[in-house]
Amino acid sequence: MRLIKKKFRKVTAELLDMPHDVVFDLPRLTMIGDCQLYIENHRGVVHFSSERLRLALSKGQLEVTGSSLVIRTIWTEEVFVEGQISNIQLIP
């Protein structure tokens, strides 16, 4: 059943020319250099410190590590982080 739903979403996305992140509820990350990161489609902050940010996603978590991390802006499904970013990891 899951496979049918996934195939249906994929065909629908292609037919309607919709971005896959919208159809499949995937996170979208935009990184500028190694100092700014904009993340869309998160489900909330699990942990935050100046060295680590962990966000809940629809499927798993996203961990950002670095130094001097600061959350500049946070909205319901979007977060903007600045600092020296060294690693981004998707945790299933």
Sequence-ordered list of residues with C-beta below 8 angstroms from that of 87, at least 6 positions apart, any chain? 63, 64, 65, 66
**pLDDT digits 0-9 by tens, 12-54:** 656 666 555 555 578 999 999 999 999 999 999 999 999 999 9
What is the per-residue pLDDT for 19?
56
* 73 confidence band (pLDDT: 50, 70, 90): very high
Is the distance from CB of 42 to CB of 56 less than 8 angstroms?
A: yes
Between the CA of residue 62 and those of 9, 43, 87, what are the distances in Å?
A: 23, 10, 11
For residues 58-78, give the mean pLDDT.
95
Radius of gyration (C-alpha) of the chain in whole angstroms: 15
